[in-house]
Structure 1
């Protein structure tokens, strides 16, 4: 399955993705996202400085306001 990077505060999302068979790593620093097929972030501190450095070629999903199941659906649809 795909390698998914997830912010540490999204433990429910991490567990749901693992249950679906994905390889989940916790994003502790920016470089952790480099080899991920997809990343899930809270969106709470996104682009505060207005910078647009890209660290991953995979999709980035902002989980703000979404349930763990909705995030899983987004991940799976973007990986197709």
Structure 2
């Protein structure tokens, strides 16, 4: 089953992805992303300090400006 990490503030996205059969991991800490095939972040605190470290090898989707359905489509496009 495909594991998707979803930032805690994106509860609508988490629900939509669960309905589509994805295994969802709530991203509370950086290490929560390990083992995920893809992560969805809100973008609110993205790279605040001007530094960025990658916790996963897979895609990270910035949900800023997208609705839950658009994010689900983006996840499906990137994990296949």
Q: Could you say whether these structures have the same fold, taking a TM-score greater than 0.5 normalized by the shorter chain as the test?
A: yes
- The aligned counterpart of 2:76 is 76
**1:52 Cα deviation (Å)?**
2.5
Question: Could you tell me how far apart the structure 1 residues matched to 2:52 and 2:63 are?
Answer: 19
What runs of 5+ residues in structure 2 fail to find an aligned partner? none
TM-score norm. by structure 1 comes to: 0.96
What is the root-mean-square deviation of aligned Cα atoms in Å?
0.7
Which segments of structure 1 move beyond 4 Å, counting only runs of 4 or more?
A: none
Superposition deviation, residue 69 in structure 1 = 0.4
TM-score using structure 2 length: 0.96
Q: Indicate the residue corresponding to 2:45 in structure 1.
A: 45
Residue 73 of structure 1 aligns to a residue in which SS?
A: helix
1:19-58 paired onto structure 2 within 5 Å: 19-58=19-58
